[in-house]
Chain A
Amino acid sequence: MSSRRAVWLGVAVLLAMIACDPRTFPDRAYHEEFETLCEGTPCGWEISRGEPGQATWITSLHPGEHALRLTGDVTVRGPGAGPDATDVLQSTGAIGHVASRCDPGSRLQVTVLVVDRAGIPTRTTFEVPSGDWSELALGLSFDNPIVDARVTAIVIEKTGVGSCDVAEIVLDQGGVDDIGC
């Protein structure tokens, strides 16, 4: 490789580093941190099944981090992505992240409800393993093919003894090897 080519290659790499912001990757279609409260409960969340005391807002790992604690058999439903969300999900490449912990004997199931560009609703359901705090990252497989789908609601169903704490739910579109430029 000549020295001139090496110089141009270096310039190209520098331009790519400036132009490609890794923080913009991946496209964020949904993000719930349970950090904002509306009248004492996480904004937009409601109990579908169970008593009010079975779903509480708690301090989790640190006073700066909060979570939704579900005790016993209870189902909660949260808000969708909202009208300001610009990123959408596709049939392939959608990834779900859940940060949670569950007591032994508990079972936690998350259902993602979406509506695609044609207005056709569909869903995907996945189970979160019990144990100490861990991050679950898995590819989402929707019941029907979707194109530019928006998240309309999240449903969390907790069954079994003990409790589960859910600190964060993130839905992204895009492979982890992609670079957002």
Chain B
Amino acid sequence: MSWAARLLVVVIGLTPAIGVAQDEDPSDGAAAGSGESATESESEAETAAESEAESEPESEPESESESESESESEAEAESAGGTPALVPPGGVPPIPGVREPRPVQAPEPEPPPEPIPLPRYSLELRLGVSFPGDFSFDQALAALRYDGVRAAPSVVVGVQVPVLDWLWLGGRLGARGRGWAHPDRDPATLAAGELLATAQARVWLGRVVELGVLVAGGLGWMQVAVRDAATDQAVGRFSLEAILAFKTGPHFAFGPRVGYDFFEWSGVNAYGHGVDVGGFSLGLALEGRE
């Protein structure tokens, strides 16, 4: 046998001894030095894992705190020198019938609603129509072949100032009129104006819809013109109105109005006839607020 063949036989013969020497890590000197204690801790951990695996299917689903404490104990065991071989790569596989713990996010509390800003004042333009009653002056004019229209268009401008969250005070200036057509001559006309003090109670239904009630009282003025003559009179005036308003922005609102207007003139002539330019009223109001 040549010297090369003898060397190959020696190398082959020494290879297992070199592998055993390499398996013993010199950094684990303590563990290597206490080989029995390490083996004991491994066997204890295996026993605990087995007991947990046996007890889990019978027990109730774990709570989040229990799972957290379990993971913490595992981490402590690892830091205390436990072998990571107890947890397979990729974590512990899900156990059938046990709910996976989910991260819980507490709902964010809704911010408190911002208070509806109260404007300093509100300007109002109201277009409407009232339906006067059939009074004795209407009947007398009908005897003279005047044909009255039982509707009185009106226009009102007003201003209101909030004195409380729900109470507005202000005033109104308005005009309205009606007529009686005649087949042979110019129609008879009634023109009226009004100056009223107003009080409104308003509530907000959300941030868009408002409901309210308006009470108004003051003075009215009527003028009845027939042919080329006119006569006029100051009269008392009263209104009650329901308000529905829709806010269309920070400065505007509009909505319908329904109410009753007391606007009568008793004693238009020597016969004591009365005439009306009020009655049940409908309107549409536009408000500008600042």
Q: Is the CB of B231 within 8 A of A63?
A: yes
Which B residues are in CB contact (< 8 Å) with A133?
139-140, 143-144, 271
Which A residues are in CB contact (< 8 Å) with B230?
63-64
CB B222 to nearest CB in A, in angstroms, measures 12
- Interface of chain A residues 125 through 181 with chain B (CB within 8 A): 132-135, 167-168, 170
Q: Is the CB of A64 within 8 A of B145?
A: no
Say whether, besides A132-B136, A133-B271, A61 and B225 are in contact (CB < 8 Å): no
Residue-wise interface mask of A (27-71) relative to B, using a CB-CB cutoff of 8 A (1 in contact, 0 not): 000010001000000000000000000000001111111000000
Across the interface, A132 reaches (CB within 8 A) one of B226, B227, B268, B271, namely B271
Judge if A113 is at the interface, Cβ distance under 8 Å.
Answer: no
Residue in A60, A167, A168, A170 with the greatest tally of chain B CB atoms within 10 Å: A60
Q: Is the CB of B271 within 8 A of A101?
A: yes
CB B139 to nearest CB in A, in angstroms, measures 7
Q: How far is the CA of A111 from the CA of B273 in the complex (A)?
A: 30
Q: Is the CB of B227 within 8 A of A65?
A: yes
- Interface of chain B residues 129 through 153 with chain A (CB within 8 A): 136-137, 139-145
Chain B residue nearest to A100 in the complex (CB): B143
CB A85 to nearest CB in B, in angstroms, measures 15
CB A60 to nearest CB in B, in angstroms, measures 7
Across the interface, B140 reaches (CB within 8 A) one of A59, A97, A132, namely A132
Across the interface, B229 reaches (CB within 8 A) one of A63, A97, A132, A134, namely A63
Judge if B89 is at the interface, Cβ distance under 8 Å.
Answer: no
Chain B residue nearest to A167 in the complex (CB): B144
Which A residues are in CB contact (< 8 Å) with B215?
none
Q: How far is the CA of A134 from the CA of B225 in the complex (A)?
A: 20
Across the interface, B143 reaches (CB within 8 A) one of A23, A35, A135, namely A135
Name the prevailing secondary structure of the A interface residues: strand
Q: How far is the CA of A170 from the CA of B183 in the complex (A)?
A: 12
Residue-wise interface mask of B (214-257) relative to A, using a CB-CB cutoff of 8 A (1 in contact, 0 not): 00000000001111111100000000000000000000000000
Which B residues are in CB contact (< 8 Å) with A59?
269-270
Q: How far is the CA of A31 from the CA of B182 in the complex (A)?
A: 14
Say whether, besides A23-B183, A132-B136, A62 and B224 are in contact (CB < 8 Å): yes
Across the interface, B141 reaches (CB within 8 A) one of A22, A61, A63, A97, namely A61
- Interface of chain A residues 89 through 136 with chain B (CB within 8 A): 97, 99-101, 132-135
CB B54 to nearest CB in A, in angstroms, measures 93
Which B residues are in CB contact (< 8 Å) with A64?
188, 225-230
Q: Is the CB of B226 within 8 A of A65?
A: yes
Q: How far is the CA of A113 from the CA of B224 in the complex (A)?
A: 37
Say whether, besides A99-B144, A135-B145, A167-B144, A61 and B227 are in contact (CB < 8 Å): no
Which A residues are in CB contact (< 8 Å) with B143?
99-101, 133-135, 167
Q: How far is the CA of A101 from the CA of B270 in the complex (A)?
A: 13
Chain B residue nearest to A23 in the complex (CB): B183
Q: Is the CB of A62 within 8 A of B226?
A: yes
Q: Is the CB of A97 within 8 A of B269?
A: no
Q: How far is the CA of A93 from the CA of B226 in the complex (A)?
A: 31
CB B165 to nearest CB in A, in angstroms, measures 50
Q: How far is the CA of A4 from the CA of B273 in the complex (A)?
A: 55
Which A residues are in CB contact (< 8 Å) with B188?
62, 64
CB B188 to nearest CB in A, in angstroms, measures 8
Q: How far is the CA of A132 from the CA of B139 in the complex (A)?
A: 9
Say whether, besides A99-B145, A135-B144, A62 and B139 are in contact (CB < 8 Å): no
CB B211 to nearest CB in A, in angstroms, measures 43
Q: Is the CB of B231 within 8 A of A62?
A: yes
Which B residues are in CB contact (< 8 Å) with A22?
183
CB A170 to nearest CB in B, in angstroms, measures 8
Q: Give 15 CB contacts A-B under 8 Å.
A: A23-B183, A61-B271, A61-B273, A62-B188, A63-B230, A65-B144, A97-B145, A101-B143, A132-B271, A133-B140, A134-B139, A135-B142, A135-B144, A167-B143, A168-B144
Rank and list the top 5 A-B pairs by shortest CB-CB distance, nearest first: A64-B226, A64-B227, A64-B229, A133-B140, A63-B229
Given contacts A61-B273, A167-B143, 14 further A-B contacts (CB under 8 A): A22-B183, A23-B183, A31-B184, A61-B226, A62-B226, A62-B229, A63-B230, A64-B225, A65-B144, A101-B143, A132-B139, A132-B271, A133-B144, A133-B271
Seen from chain B, the residues whose Cβ lies within 8 Å of a Cβ on chain A are 136-137, 139-145, 183-184, 188, 224-231, 268-271, 273
